[in-house]
Amino acid sequence: MKLTWLGHSSFLLEESTGTTIVTDPYKGANVGYNMPKVSADIVTVSHAHGDHDNIGGVDGNPTVINRVGAYEIGGVHILSRRTYHDDQKGAKRGENLVFKYRMDGVDVCHMGDIGEDCNAMLVESLMPVNVLLIPVGGTYTIDAKEAKEYVDRIMPDIVVPMHYKTKDCEMDIDKLGEFLDLFDDECVEYVDGPTVEFDRADFDGESTKVLVLEKFEN
């Protein structure tokens, strides 16, 4: 399967069969830079905030998933679980959906704008995870240290950080460095571009690598 970072918390996920998913499409006014023009068969929305629910920004008349449930669309299995957008059981920012996708035998988990503390019940419900897409910028979500706790508990093969302050992001969130500083240098890989491809055979379950992607531009 192929994964492309579209910026912020938005990714384009592509299965070899041709089924495509866009996660959490955003409005430029909410983030500071514009969402690339893409089309998809499916759009998943973690919560109804402008930097995550710009469904109209995705071409192709996609099926929208924004509720808790288990789905199978185009040969892709999708599971969504209800979590909280804050550490006060939703009192400040409401609920958040965590999505898990199985594409070409690879288990990908998108944490949305999760804000609740790491807990055993949630972690156990998500495992196993090959590729973890997790917010690290704090303020509106978990911060770097809290994200590292999720990584340590979920033990994915690959971590792709998201929802952090880039040079053109205008949101009051932290830069990526605070998260990367929590890992040994040999565990961090900078990818030349926005896209990576994964095969189930690539994962040995023995270590975790952080991939830093460049934002897709078109």
Question: Could you tell me which residues come within 8 angstroms of residue 146 by beta carbon, excluding any fewer than 6 positions away?
Answer: 117, 118
Kindly tell me if the per-residue pLDDT of 185 is higher than 70: yes
Q: Tell me the per-residue pLDDT of 196-209, one tens digit each, with 9 for 90 and over.
A: 999 999 898 889 99
Q: Tell me the per-residue pLDDT of 54-113, one tens digit each, with 9 for 90 and over.
A: 999 999 999 999 999 999 999 999 999 999 898 888 888 889 999 999 999 999 999 999
Q: Does domain 2-212 have CATH number 3.60.15.10?
A: yes
pLDDT band for position 218 (50/70/90)?
Answer: low
Q: Are 48 and 40 in contact (CB under 8 A)?
A: no
pLDDT at 47: 94
**pTM for this prediction:** 0.96
pLDDT band for position 145 (50/70/90)?
Answer: very high
Closest C-alpha among 50, 54, 2, 60 to residue 23: 54
Q: Are 170 and 32 in contact (CB under 8 A)?
A: yes
Q: Cα(131)–Cα(95) distance, rounded to whole angstroms?
A: 23
Q: Is 111 exposed, middle or buried (0-12, 13-18, 19+ CB in 10 A)?
A: buried
Mean pLDDT for all residues in the chain: 95
What residue spans define the domains of the chain?
Answer: 2-212
